[in-house]
Amino acid sequence: MTIRPPAVAGSFYPDRPDRLSASVEGFLAEAETRPAGRAKAVIAPHAGYLYSGPIAGRAFAALRPGAAGIRRVVVIGPAHFVPVRGLAVPAASAFRTPLGDVALDRAAIEAILDLPQVRRADAPHQGEHALEVELPFLQTILCSFSLVPLLVGQAHPAEVAEVLARLWGGEETAIVVSSDLSHYHDYASATRRDAATAAAIEALEPTLGPEDACGHLAIAGLLIEAECRRLDALRLDLRNSGDTAGLKDRVVGYGAWAFH
């Protein structure tokens, strides 16, 4: 049994289980409750919790109304460090965080490996934070679930959408798209850029580029499927690191959306 160990525990989020649980529960408790029904998918940021945790909390709180029925979560985000063609799934059997191990859904992964854009590769996952930081939130709100972790490299949005369509399932499956927004602009410029990105997401327009969101391809794939399946995108939060814990001269944008 191969377990992918945590790569950013102690840096992006606390490495002690008690402190991590308290941190995540605090972010979830701060989230405004919106009676919008059961969310099928969310977009959540993936920076260090000090910066993006409050925004992530609002995204994951949107999954709580349907949490009792969720048994599988597809978490998809960008491959930041290791180049990959298409989408990479790991050979590991579980991902570990300080809160425990999350088993991978091997049957679901096998069901997409025949697609030419999907490849089994551990290297992109080893030091990657984009999926890992979402797991403690899922471990907190869900009783038990299996994981399908996907990292997107060089791919077309339609290729990403095809994978999501294969994994879509019913109420037992939730989808988490992991992405930050604009990077390293001044506060006013970032606010304008991220507002335009938010408008595109809410119009289900898969036209974003890498300057708009690091996970733009994962977002685009979700938007294509959301349009096909007649889902609506609800904005839950839109801020940046200048609002949470950083200076305002060089900020990173964060947003949270729920799809119903």
Find the distance separating the first CA and the last CA of the chain, reported in whole Å. Answer: 36
Residue 36 has pLDDT above 90, yes or no: no
- pLDDT tens by residue, 171-221: 999 999 999 999 999 999 999 999 999 999 999 999 999 999 999 999 999
In this prediction, residue 37 carries a pLDDT of 79
In this prediction, residue 63 carries a pLDDT of 97
- What type of residue sits at position 23? S
Order of strands, sheet of 100-103, starting from the edge strand that comes earlier in the sequence = 3-4, 94-97, 100-103
Mean pLDDT of 148-154: 98
- Could you tell me which CATH number the domain at 3-259 has? 3.40.830.10
SS3 content of the chain, % helix, strand, coil (to 5): 35, 25, 40
Q: What is the DSSP track for 79-135?
A: --SS--BSEEE-S-SEEEETTEEEEB-HHHHHTTTTSTTEEE-SHHHHT--TTGGGH
- pLDDT tens by residue, 231-243: 999 999 999 999 9
Mean pLDDT of 64-86: 97
Mean pLDDT of 60-65: 96
Residue 260 has pLDDT above 60, yes or no: yes
Mean pLDDT of 152-175: 98
What pLDDT band is residue 1 in, cutting at 50, 70 and 90?
A: low
Q: Is 55:143 a contact under the CB 8 Å cutoff?
A: no
* Domain-wise residue ranges, the chain: 3-259
What pLDDT band is residue 33 in, cutting at 50, 70 and 90?
A: low
Residue 35 has pLDDT above 70, yes or no: no
Of all residues in the chain, the percent with pLDDT exceeding 70 is 98
Of 239, 235, 160, 165, residue with least CA distance to 203? 235
How far, CA to CA in Å, does 207 sit from each of 11, 130, 176, 255?
33, 21, 19, 17
Of 147, 142, 131, 144, residue with least CA distance to 215? 131
Q: Which residue has the tokens 């299996």?
A: 146
Mean pLDDT of 32-58: 90
- pLDDT tens by residue, 216-233: 999 999 999 999 999 999
More confident: 37 or 78? 78
Of 129, 118, 181, 123, residue with least CA distance to 152? 118
Query: 99 is written with which tokens?
Result: 């809160």
